[in-house]
Amino acid sequence: MTLTLKNDKLVCDINPGQGACIAGLWHNHIPVLRSTPGAQLQSVRECASYPLVPYSNRQAFAQFRWQGQQFSLAKNFDPEPHAIHGVGWQRPWQLAPHASSPGMPTSTVTLTLEHTPDDSWPFAFSASQTISLHEDALELRMAVTNRASVAAPAGLGWHPYFAKHASDHLTFEAQGRWEMDADKLPTRRLPNPGLRQDCAALSVDHCFDGWGGKAVLRNARFVLTITSDLTCLVVFTRPERDNIAIEPVSHVNNALNLVADGVATAQALGVRLLEPGETFAAHMRIAIEAV
């Protein structure tokens, strides 16, 4: 099933059964994100954006240590040996009732997910994601609630793939960047002010922390302003790729294992500890200005 949100300028296709992913986002028929009509989308890995819950990026070699206990996870991103991006992007979500009222966005949908412990994640949780179109913006809000009987770690984020153009220029401010090893895992943090760089030759696959909550992607067609209340930003692209991932996330890659290794505290790495029944919420907005 595909849900289509639209207004005078924007069209957004959403596939609840494919990880509540956004299949495509178009502004006056021009793709803003890497876009496929929802009915034609074959895999979440080809979509425009998907939610990251209850963690983002990689859990090293599909395992993690938390409060003295070792957990093993199902590998879910062949051929990599890691578990990646949580479980929300690979599970069907349900459509929730949503009543519109004066002042509400032009088009809004809310999707929900109930997770029971399994080999992909050992703690029960519920999640909701609200996707809204405004006149010239896409707004996403997500929340995760701990449904386990014990305190559990949690994280949130989004993985949007922006359509790449030869004239792309990316700007954002940060405080640090986590260097990566051959296994695509963070090794050490170095001070880093963020990026002010053309994207055509950009090669990056890193998590930046101390993110200022705003990133601007400019090209000959659009000025795209990505804002969020999250404090980490993962950026991934290569010169040969036709897209650039700009991912607001709540924590550093592989954060649970970094905590266990004593690299930094859970708070410093952005890991949230949710007590039973406690909720963590976040939002992201993509504002679109045609050039």
**239-283 pLDDT per residue, tens:** 999 999 999 999 999 999 999 999 999 999 999 999 999 999 999
Mean pLDDT of the chain: 95
Tell me the average pLDDT across 133-155.
96
Q: What is the pLDDT of residue 98?
A: 62
Q: Is the confidence at residue 101, as pLDDT, over 50? A: no
Q: Please give the distance of CA 159 from its chain centroid, rounded to a whole number.
A: 3
State the pLDDT confidence band at 106, using cuts at 50, 70 and 90: low
Q: What is the pLDDT of residue 232?
A: 98
Q: Is the confidence at residue 103, as pLDDT, over 70? A: no
Tell me the average pLDDT across 62-69.
91
Q: Is the confidence at residue 88, as pLDDT, over 60? A: yes
* Amino acid in the structure at residue 279: T
The per-residue pLDDT for range 132-142, each reduced to its tens digit, is 999 899 999 99
First to last CA, the chain: 34
Q: What is the pLDDT of residue 193?
A: 98
Q: Can you give the residue range of the structural domain that contains 85?
A: 3-290
Say how many domains are in the chain: 1
Q: Is the confidence at residue 110, as pLDDT, over 90? A: yes
- Residue with structure tokens 């296994």? 183
Q: Beta partners for 226? A: 215, 286
Q: What is the pLDDT of residue 278?
A: 98
Q: Is the confidence at residue 225, as pLDDT, over 80? A: yes
Q: What CATH number does the domain containing 230 carry?
A: 2.70.98.10
DSSP states along 192-259: --EEEEESTT--EEEEEES--SEEEEE-SSEEEEEEES--EEEEEE-TT-SEEEEEEESS-TTHHHHH
- Of the candidates 143, 165, 164, 162, which has an alpha carbon nearest to the alpha carbon of residue 154? 143
9, 168, 249 from 244: Cα distances, Å: 23, 10, 16
Residues 6 or more apart whose Cβ sits within 8 Å of residue 159 = 49, 50, 51, 52, 56, 85, 89, 245, 247
Region of 34 (left: φ > 0; alpha: ψ -120 to 50; beta: rest) is: beta
Region of 67 (left: φ > 0; alpha: ψ -120 to 50; beta: rest) is: left
Q: What is the pLDDT of residue 36?
A: 96
